[in-house]
Amino acid sequence: MTVVGVIGAALVVAGVPFFLFGTLGLLRLPDTYSRLHALAKGDNVGLGLVCLGLGLQSGSVLVTLKLLMIWVLMLIASATGAGLIARTALARGVKPHGL
Amino acid sequence: MDWLAHTFDGLLGLALLWLAWQAMHAPGLFRSVVSYMVFGLVMALIWVRLEAPDIALAEAAIGAGATGALLLSALARLKDGSDAGRLHWRHPAELVFWLPFAAVTALVLGLTAWQLPAPGLGVDVARTLGQSGVDNPVTAVLLNFRSFDTLLEIGVLLVGVVAIWSLGPAPSPIVPKMPSPALPALGRALFPVFVLAATYLLWRGSHAPGGAFQAGAVMGAGGILMVLAGARPWLTGEEQGPWRWLLSLGLVAMLAVAVAMAALAGTFFAYPPALAAPLILALEISAALSIALLMFAVYLCGRPPDHWEAED
């Protein structure tokens, strides 16, 4: 395995805990807003690391760029989606936990 | 690593069954709809594991994306409490009928699957691929060997849209008020990406996974996003009404090609090998345009008005 391949594998492995803790936050945090906070942040970092790692492992610049573009699109979509869910919840009168 | 792949496949299969149960029996329609969308995504993953990326693309775009948007917008228009009319298990005695029924159905399906000829038709398709005009076996089957099935599929979509538009006018306002300006801005900004992705999928269809259905579904989803962003469709009225002929473009083009080929060669849908490639490309483009507009027309939930009133 080349050095780049090892770095790629390490990045993929490093991305997994972010998904894990994002999911843990979704299951364990008390209200919509903090769950969104955990998901939208954790999963995006995790996806970025996994995409970068897979790109490095593929050994192709084109594939790496495609994967990174998927990540950028995902960032935009998840930020918009999270904002939309939070604002809809607020408009429907869902109170943040502890207020 | 073999056992790891098997465990993963097993988990995917179990998740699919569990999601199907959730989609039918979860308390609350919202949970059902979300379960159904996740069902579509897991189904797409399973198609990937079965090495059928064409179906995976179509399932993700249509099953999870377009159908999910349709179900969610329908759900938003239901009055509160309409959940009460849901069908639950009314009586345990019904199980006396349904359990044996389900067991027999599963048995018959399993036996049928068991007796399918082992290599299937893949060998025949690979052997005749050279004459089909394309390099992707799935596209060859869809638009050359079994064009008649595709004709009927597009016909079903068109009949669906005609039925939905006949039921009544599109609800007004056509989309709920956006609590955030982010989605409309995103819709406008991302629309070129949708066009690019759909064109790419369409172009890929001749030699790799992709094609008219996937391209049409992506394009239709882009159209739905544009409606959410405040764009209004132009398929009715005197000035722009003729554009709605595009809805039937795919069906009309396929029928025209089929009839022309019947007149030339004597067989319905039998392309001469020299003409196959350009004919399939023309059919793919017209079918993709039609499918995109049909997906979008279904989402309007009724016939759009001739003139759009200004909405605040």
Select the more confidently predicted residue: B22 or B78.
B22
Quickly list DSSP for B174-196.
SSPPPS-THHHHHHHHHHHHHHH
**A84 to B190: CB separation less than 8 angstroms, yes or no:** no
Q: Of A69, A58, A57, A65, whose CA–CA distance to A11 is shortest?
A: A57
Judging contacts by C-beta atoms under 8 Å, the chain B residues touching residue A76 are 186, 190
| pLDDT tens digits for range A57-88 | 988 899 999 999 999 999 988 988 888 888 88
What whole-number distance in Å separates Cα of residue A77 and Cα of residue A83?
10
Q: How close B193 comes to chain A (CA, Å)?
A: 10
B169 DSSP β-pair partners:
B303
Identity (one letter) of the amino acid at B113? Answer: A
What whole-number distance in Å separates Cα of residue B151 and Cα of residue B259?
12
Asked if B182 and B254 touch (Cβ cutoff 8 Å), the reply is no
Give the residue-averaged pLDDT of A11-38.
91
Candidates B38, B73, B178, B180: best to mutate against A (most CBs of A within 10 A) is: B180
Structure confidence at residue A32 as a pLDDT band (50, 70, 90): confident
Q: Is the model's pLDDT at B299 over the cut of 50?
A: yes
Give the residue-averaged pLDDT of B249-263.
89
H-state helical runs in B147-248? 147-167, 182-204, 212-228
Tell me the C-alpha to C-alpha distance, in Å, between residue B154 and each of A35, B121, B140, B158. 42, 24, 17, 6
**B182 to A83: CB separation less than 8 angstroms, yes or no:** yes
The pLDDT of residue B312 is 46
**A77 to B182: CB separation less than 8 angstroms, yes or no:** no
Tell me what the pLDDT averaged over chain B comes to.
84
A69 touches chain B (CB under 8 A): no
Q: Is the model's pLDDT at B89 over the cut of 90?
A: no
Judging contacts by C-beta atoms under 8 Å, the chain A residues touching residue B190 are 73, 76
Q: Is the model's pLDDT at B229 over the cut of 50?
A: yes
Q: Where are the domains of chain A?
A: 3-91
Q: Where are the domains of chain B?
A: 1-78, 135-312
Structure confidence at residue B90 as a pLDDT band (50, 70, 90): low
What whole-number distance in Å separates Cα of residue B253 and Cα of residue B246?
10
The pLDDT of residue B97 is 87
Q: Of B67, B13, B76, B15, whose CA–CA distance to B37 is shortest?
A: B67
B303 DSSP β-pair partners:
B169
Q: How close B303 comes to chain A (CA, Å)?
A: 28
Structure confidence at residue B204 as a pLDDT band (50, 70, 90): confident
Judging contacts by C-beta atoms under 8 Å, the chain A residues touching residue B180 are 80, 83-84, 87
| pLDDT tens digits for range B60-70 | 888 888 888 88
The pLDDT of residue B98 is 86
Percent of chain B at pLDDT above 70? 94
Asked if B187 and B228 touch (Cβ cutoff 8 Å), the reply is yes
- Alpha-carbon B210 to chain mean position: 13
